[in-house]
Amino acid sequence: MELKQLLALKESENKVEFKAARNNFKYAGGDNKEPKDRRHCVLGYVTAFCNEGGGMLVLGVDDAHPHSVVGSKFAEGKEGNLCDQIYSDIGIRVETEVLQQDGKRVLIIKIPSRPIGKLMKFEGVPLMRIGESLREMSDQEMLKILSEQEPDFSATICEGLTIGDLDEFSLHAMAERYAAKQNNNDFLSLPVEQALSDLDLSKNGKLTYAALILVGKDEALKKFLPQSAINLEYRVNKDSIHYDDRLIASHSVFKNIDIVWDHINLRNGKFPIQQGPYILDIPFLNEEVVRESVNNAIVHRDYHLQSEIVIKQSNNSLDVISPGGFPLGVSAENILTVNSTPRNRLLADILLKTGVVERSGQGVDKLFKNNIQEAKGSPDYLRSDNFQVHLHIPTIVQDKAFVLFIEYIQKEIKVDLSLMEVLTLEKIRQKVDKSELDQNTVKTLQDKNLIEPIGRTHTKGYMLSKMYFSFTNQPAAYTKQKDPDISNIWLQVFNHMSKFKKAKILDFESLFEGILTREQVKYYIYLFVDAGILNRKGVSRGTYYELSAELLKHDNPLQLGLEKLKDMPDSTSS
């Protein structure tokens, strides 16, 4: 933006706030104690503008009209850090721009609109801008936002789009897929106009954005919706700032679905597994996982935003980043359990009817299940926020035995595993706390003899069945987990304490990693305290353990500990 244009804007009409901020400006409320005073800061204005559809906070310009440049030193030379800090503090992705006039610096903070149906808050309060003040939204204003329904962008008319803007190859591919999926070969003989109308891609002779996205020519997409392109970046080292290769796929969906996979697959490799009768080649990038990930991004992204879908490929992971947060009601935590409505419902409906995508939710289930079954770990959405969905997919096989175990279950004993069962097996393999396990699924897996209980009643945990350990080439590990010997456990604790004098529960967990669960570690340490061979000191997180004074005075403390344990009933201190 040119400075002349900026100075001509009016605060009340153009969603802009001017502040002189010559030397500094409060970032997060400063020393003020009153909420109404604390709000007049960078984070307060960013929050309010975001709630009202976006805007600009301009520092270095006098707020009196006509506006004059006075210059600001706020965040000078640290504009990038400012954007990072704002995102870290309130989860809003801003952009900055710096303009100059006669050596005087003007900082523009550009603020996006909030997602539909979501409120942004500063210090727990949803703000809006009224004149010179920032005030808390009323209950009615908040309810109006929270009750918003996301419109179907793909079903809206793309003004100016004509039949001549549609790609012949893509139209034919869509018709063939639809005819095959619906078992309706008559569809192939329909005129283009009729086929588009039957699929609701045209309404009263006008074409929708779904038609553009699905079958539009490259030049039409660049003209009407350039953000529909897919940006593929490859890095040898995933942490590198600069990419080693890049492709911008600015094509219709029915072209891109193969172009994107073919480009990613160029650098795909395989992890060979051979043991006994099992000969497997596990691809680093499973085709079904990749296609589902990309298709989900196309269907659920927010096309109002100007950003493209970005796919970042490296030698050990694939990241798919799509503009717009999760659809209403969906989060990173519930994505596998909640039934969601696609943001672009018409687009999703066509892709479903042509067999490109699964029914809502099933695609995500499939990519999670496949990735875990191949022992690459669980995909995650932990880097997502209100303005983008970030899917991270690990691609390196972590546990060859787990792959063979799953193969044995499905091919040899012919047990079909549900997503929840696969997730639970993975959690048990990772030795997560039993409180994180779904007990109904645990019971089902026990009934199928795929997991086994370990530990006593009050420290009961679970481990994968003996068959898993037969694939590890370390069958003794099964015995160690299944029947831990208290004498050996005491020996390792004693040796550790003799060297380090004191230890916390976390230290003991590390000592017995892969052998005992967290509950088992706590059980044995508490048992040693009850036996009088360990002393517990400190409270809460500061709790630590030492060898008891009685042991330290004895000529053979190790043997004394063993004798005391023989006399202990099966109990534990709280």
Find out if CATH 3.30.565.60 is the number for domain 149-398. yes
Where do you find CATH 3.30.565.60 in the chain?
149-398
Asked if pLDDT for residue 573 goes beyond 60, the answer is: no
Overall pTM > 0.85: no
Q: Are strands 230-234 and 309-313 parallel, antiparallel or unpaired?
A: parallel
Q: Which two tokens stand for residue 192?
A: 């283009």
| CA within 13 Å, CB half, 265 | 13
Average pLDDT over residues 358-365: 74
Q: Which residues contact residue 363 at a Cβ distance below 8 angstroms, ignoring those fewer than 6 apart?
A: 292, 295, 296, 357
In sign, the C-alpha dihedral spanning 39, 43, 48, 49 is positive
Tokens 């980043």 appear where?
A: 321
Name the nearest CA neighbour of 52 among 7, 100, 119.
Answer: 119
CA distances from 330 to 92, 144, 166, 342 (A): 19, 20, 34, 10
68-74-80-81 Cα dihedral, nearest 10 degrees: -160
User: Band of the pLDDT at 200, cuts 50, 70, 90?
Assistant: very high
Look at residue 31 in the predicted model and tell me its pLDDT. 82
% of the chain exceeding 90 in pLDDT: 70
Give me the CATH topology for the region 400-481: Arc Repressor Mutant, subunit A (1.10.10)
Radius of gyration of the chain from its Cα atoms, rounded to whole angstroms:
30
Predicted local confidence at residue 495, as pLDDT: 94
Q: Average pLDDT in the 42-58 region?
A: 94
Res 95 pLDDT > 90:
yes
Own/partner contacts of 558-564, CB < 8 Å, gap of 24 or more, are 558/490, 558/491, 558/494, 560/533, 561/490, 561/494, 561/528, 561/531, 561/533, 562/487, 562/490, 564/531, 564/532, 564/533
CA–CA dist 138, 143 (Å, integer): 9
Nearest to 410 by CA among 446, 374, 442: 374
Average pLDDT score, the chain: 91
Question: Structure tokens of 451?
Answer: 């997991």
User: Which regions of the chain carry the CATH code 3.30.950.30?
Assistant: 3-146
Cα 170 from Cα 163, distance rounded (Å)? 13
Range with lowest mean pLDDT among 57-61, 161-165, 427-431: 427-431
Determine the pLDDT at residue 362.
76
Coil vs helix vs strand at 461: strand
Locate CATH 1.10.10.10 in the chain: 484-566
- Name every residue whose Cβ is closer than 8 Å to that of residue 268 and which is 6 or more positions away in sequence: 283, 284, 285
CA 334-147-95 angle, to 5 degrees, is 75
Q: What's the token pair of residue 303? A: 């096309």
**Correct CATH for 3-146 of 3.30.950.30, 3.20.20.70, 3.40.50.300, 3.30.450.20:** 3.30.950.30
For residues 283-301, give the mean pLDDT.
95
CA distance 536 to 554: 19
pLDDT digits (tens, 9 = 90+) for 27-48: 998 888 888 889 999 999 999 9
Q: Quickly state the pLDDT bin for 458 (edges 50, 70, 90).
A: low
Contacts 24+ apart (CB under 8 A), 171-175: 171/195, 171/215, 173/254, 173/255, 174/214, 174/215, 174/254, 174/350, 174/354
**CATH top class, domain 484-566:** mainly alpha
Give burial (CB, 10 Å; 0-12/13-18/19+) of 513: exposed
pLDDT of amino acid 400 = 94
3-state SS, one letter per residue, for 178-217? HHHHHCCHHHHHCCHHHHHHHCCCEECCEEEHHHHHHHEC
pLDDT of amino acid 327: 80
Give pLDDT, residue 571: 43
Peptide bond into 66 cis (omega under 30): yes
Whether pLDDT at 457 is above 60: no
Which residues does 556 contact at the CB level (< 8 Å), separation at least 6?
A: none
Q: Cα dist. 564→455, 495, 497, 572 in Å?
A: 21, 17, 17, 14
